[in-house]
Amino acid sequence: MELKKTLLEQALALPVDDRELLAAALFSSLDDTSDPAVTAEWRAELLRRRDQARLDPSVMLDGQRVFDELFAEFGVERPA
């Protein structure tokens, strides 16, 4: 847990451009394009969630609340 907290604190201290590059790299590392079945399943899930949100916007989560909960979970103070 301490390593995650330290990494998150260091990442949040980076300039915006560097954080954007880091976020993109981390996000792309989650995409297992080596397995077309996994990619197809993710695409189907994303489309399902998009359609659900369009039909019923009440299923959407407030972004501010999500970030507040994430920062609290990792015990990191939100940047100003």
In a domain, 15, yes or no: yes
In a domain, 23, yes or no: yes
- Tell me which residue range forms the domain holding 7: 2-74
In a domain, 79, yes or no: no
The pTM of the whole model exceeds 0.85: no
29 versus 19: the higher-pLDDT residue is 19
- Could you read off the pLDDT of 32-72 as tens digits, one per residue? 666 777 778 888 999 999 999 999 988 888 888 988 999 99
Specify the number of domains making up the chain: 1
Query: What is the predicted pLDDT for the residue at 10?
Result: 93
DSSP string of the chain? -HHHHHHHHHHHTS-HHHHHHHHHHHHHHT--TT-HHHHHHHHHHHHHHHHHHHH-GGGPPPHHHHHHHHHHHHT-PPP-
